[in-house]
Structure 1
Amino acid sequence: RRETAIWAHLVHDNIVTLYGTTEGFGPTTALVSRWFPHGTLSRLITEQGATLTIKSKLKLLHGIASGLYYIHSFSVVHGDITSSNVLVDLKEGEYKACLTDFGLSNVLCGRLKQCPLAIEGSTIVRPGAIRWTAPELVRSCGPPSDVKPTTQNDMYSFGRVMFHLLTLTVPWYDIEDYRVIQKIQNGEDIPRPEISEATSDVTDARWNHIEQCWSIDPSARPCALTSMNFLVGELDALKQDVSS
């Protein structure tokens, strides 16, 4: 598959290395990578979120942004950035984020031939989980059309992951998928959480960055390099707070 070939050529500290493919594990070809005993970012948030320091959270987010910057520099779009598609490694006592599941990745010069999201009765066809999907990929019923994948789609989803990690809350956690679709189509978005101990990591600057990632206008969203630089600034500010 083209997607497998794309993944195989990606070599970066924040990208899961694809070792190859194998048969015999079902009707489809299986992809082989190293085992990550700490699981996904989603699992880490569920099991240890309350004990994660803001430094650990910012470093994880920087790793995700770094991985996105790398693939975007090759005109590759991931297409399914969620907390479940980020694996967590433990290196020298610190958590490190690694992007995985490039089954939906696309080269920008190509086109995604399937409809990104079709609503047919109660059946939802989508390339990524709706709670993480950019609004321009959400559309009503209609004939399938070619949709060109963009790096801005990934950056919208990055904002969702940033929200999840900083608030320890899944986007739209309290409503069903069909209601999420309705809210997105109505132009609604997730409000800033009430200030509490659980959301104390959501500073004005971090919330503003999340909202920039969620801009309705894709061209207004930050690129991965901008997010990397923002997170470096946040980490530097933590160092200054400690030394002062």
Structure 2
Amino acid sequence: MRQMRDVASALAFLHQKGIAYGDLRSRNILVDGQHGNLKALLSDFGCAEDFGDLLISNRDIQMRDSLGWLSPEIWRNYRLYGQGRVFDGGARDMWAFGCTMVEVLARERFPWPIGYDDNTIGDALISYERPPRLPSFPPWDEAWRFIHDRCWCIDPSQRITAHEAITELEALSKSKPYVDDVPKDD
């Protein structure tokens, strides 16, 4: 959970500067283990953009965001209007943050269940559906509620901010041992 707070801190820094990261997922997080402490660092800033310049087009959707981490408002805007400006103040990053937490806590590579293809995910996002809880997600209801209710809030203006996530993750980490204490598959 400490590493997810590191990611939230990095997003808070970017969002404070008016920058959306745009491609958050576990494969874009590096972990530095110097001095015995694990620290998560964002990598691959190729999709980062100023909030005022978020023009979504077909090429952007295909090259930037894998549909599995894309927020409903970004997908709906693209599907319904072909393209359009999205001024979300970093809300799309926070949806992807929730997806990334699912990846980390469930120890999965994808935040949607097996069998969900791009069409199924796209239809779910158009209908404002959130990803369902994966069977491999640990029995940690507080973490699931944080992801489901705060990160995946359907109204982007009501979605948790990166700054708020730092504080809430601190409290959440006290409700359950760190993710490192979750049994690993052999």
**By the TM > 0.5 criterion, same fold?**
yes
1:173 CA drift (Å): 4.4
Helix, strand or coil: the match of 1:138? helix
* More RCO (CA 8 Å, sep 6+): 2
- The answer to whether the 8 A contact 1:106-1:149 is kept is no
> Of residues 13, 17, 20 in structure 2, which corresponds to 1:77?
20
2:44 maps to 1:101: yes
The structure in which a higher percent of residues are helix is 2
1:149 CA drift (Å): 4.9
Distance 1:224 1:215 in 2: 14
2:49 maps to 1:112: no
Larger Rg: 1
> Of residues 200, 203, 221 in structure 1, which corresponds to 2:140?
203
Distance 2:124 2:176 in 1: 36
The structure in which a higher percent of residues are strand is 1
AA in 2 matched with 1:227: A
2:108 maps to 1:171: no
1:113 CA drift (Å): 3.1
1:143 CA drift (Å): 4.0
Which 5+ residue runs of structure 1 have no aligned equivalent?
1-57, 240-244
Which 5+ residue runs of structure 2 have no aligned equivalent?
178-186
1:91 CA drift (Å): 2.3
2:155 maps to 1:217: yes
Distance 1:220 1:87 in 2: 29
Helix, strand or coil: the match of 2:54? coil
1:199 CA drift (Å): 3.4
Q: How many percent identity over aligned positions?
A: 29
Q: How has the CA–CA distance of structure 1 residues 79 and 238 changed in structure 2, closer, same or farther, with 3 Å as cutoff?
A: same
2:81 maps to 1:138: no
Deviation digits for residues 113-152 of structure 1, max 9, x if unmatched?
342xx49xxxx63521110111101032654333335311
Distance 2:42 2:169 in 1: 17
> Of residues 207, 226, 234 in structure 1, which corresponds to 2:172?
234
2:95 maps to 1:156: yes
Distance 1:93 1:71 in 2: 26
Q: How has the CA–CA distance of structure 1 residues 145 and 187 changed in structure 2, closer, same or farther, with 3 Å as cutoff?
A: closer
Map 1:28-39 → 2, pairs under 5 A: none
Distance 1:218 1:178 in 2: 23
Structure 2-normalised TM-score?
0.81
Distance 1:114 1:192 in 2: 29
- The answer to whether the 8 A contact 2:140-2:176 is kept is no
Distance 2:36 2:17 in 1: 31
Helix, strand or coil: the match of 1:87? strand
Structure 1-normalised TM-score?
0.63
Q: How has the CA–CA distance of structure 1 residues 152 and 143 changed in structure 2, closer, same or farther, with 3 Å as cutoff?
A: closer
